[in-house]
Structure 1
Amino acid sequence: MTHPTPDGADGALPGLLSAADVRRLAQEFDMWPTKRWGQNFVIDPNTIRRIVDLADLAGDEHVLEVGPGLGSLTLGLLDKAEHVTAVEIDPKLAAQLPETVGRMRPEKASSLTVVRDDALRLKPGALGGPSVLVANLPYNVAVPVVLHLLEVLPSLTKGLVMVQDEVADRLAAAPGSKIYGVPSAKIAWDTETRKVGVVGKKVFWPEPRISSGLVRFDRGKPASQELTRQEVFAVVDAAFAQRRKTLRAALSGFIGSGTLAEQVLRSADVDPQARGETLNIHDFTRIAAALRSASEQV
């Protein structure tokens, strides 16, 4: 049996998985990337170093990784974090990861916790309160996973995620942009988000059709202390359900009537003829507050 060996680079993170290592592990454990779970494994150690550097870890963090795959990023994170909790939906990969870490980072084996679960099913307070999210997320569930984790893990203070490049652009988009939409508004509820880089296709196996983007978020206070995110997010969803319509028209079905929608919007100091793509999270919050007030008066 041939074990993975250090990649020989002279950077801060030695012993990362090379492309040959990843394929060797896949063959050894009979595990191949599947479309079912959107798996694309990183096979370039320099990309791992870049991700870990951009995550800006101080060394004492509890890091959450979603979708660790064969462990390429996990090894890099273990070199820089106090503890890593890896959530893996694939049972074979979840079982293999501790063995790979044991081979390549025996001194760090106790610093890894593997949770075999779907990240979208994690409950509030789960995982022991990780403070940082660093992950190469499956393209097909990236936005729902990020928003869900921010909702159920208030312990998260920052994160760096690799997602489909156009999704990275949408997450970081500002109001008024053509790509600003539901993900852009919702992630702004309690974070400052920015795109910090692009990753080419050739560092993955299998190679995806498009490039990936790196998105950094830093947690702050929510847009409202009085309203719930569910109240505000319902307004965001309604505003973008019919993107080309004015807010008055888009919200009329959600609120009950066009007349009431206009009253709520004017009470929130929002132009009824505006469109959702021009509003920031604070505008949506004022609309939700005005809607709650109108409902209480009925």
Structure 2
Amino acid sequence: MMFRSIPVGCGTYLPSQVITNDYFSTFMETSSEWIASRTGILERRFASESETTSDMAVSAAEEALKNASIAALDVDAIIVATTTPDNIFPSVATIVQHRLGAKKAFAFDVQAVCSGFIYALSVADNMIRCGQAKTILVIGAESMSRILDRQDRTTAVLFGDGAGALVLQATNAATNRGILSTHLFSDGSYKELLYVDGGPGQEKQEGVLKMCGREIFKLAVERLGQAVMTALEANQLTSADIDWFIPHQANIRIINSVSEHFHLPREKVVITVHKHGNTSAASIPLALYDAVSDGRVKENDLIIFEAMGGGLTWGSALIRW
């Protein structure tokens, strides 16, 4: 029998510490207006010193399972997308598995930076399609504030922390709901445009995020447009068929450029960058939760996700909710 992955519940977690744009103007040459005009960001959340990526992932997962009316013991697999794990190892996913009491689940992390949630979603979908698992918890969780250079105004103002989770279940492939397709891409030749300048294989053990913003902007608009078009063509659809565009929340100008290219009206675009900043792999599930919880996303709505992150990695996913 062929299976399809359908979403049955989502959840999120945001740290309580709200960081407004004014915070940065107290120690660097910038202003709230400057940040907002170039990024669309007004505020973001930073995790407390005692708060870890796994803490946030567990909270988001618990809410997603509750909303799906699924017990942790019924979960077959947990996939966490993160670039900011608690430790080099073990994986965040195994920590989440233990704390949830999901004793039957296997667990692992996926590292594709801002594209991580789409990568994790693709892995989960393929596992369900081939019958390897029936219920999978997919989580995007990040503590980006831990890898920022607080003196670099080109990057420090962009990122925030948080987590989002989505529960997928197997259903008969004859249904028209669920994940229709996922599309993944990467190009390692662009590594130097977005990276962290440290790690176990480097002389500098702990690093901070480095980005060539102008070049990343140009590539993002081009590559994300490619990813969206690939998803539409694979399913013989046009942008007019899309009910909701839920992009990675990196920068309002990138979001606007891609949506305008596909003639997607603003009322069909889910935007949370103003209140979350760029939360990397947590970005899409956080935005999805907003649109589901306030009633915008309804059953049978057609949704397209897209994201691009360091690597470079990028991708898209098309879902019938």
State if a TM-score over 0.5 links the two structures.
no
Quick check: which one's helix share is greater? 1
The structure number with the bigger radius of gyration is: 1
Higher strand fraction (1 or 2): 2
Comparing both chains, which one has the higher relative contact order based on Cα–Cα distances under 8 Å and sequence gaps of 6 or more?
2
Normalising by the residue count of structure 2, what TM-score does the alignment of the two structures yield? Answer: 0.28
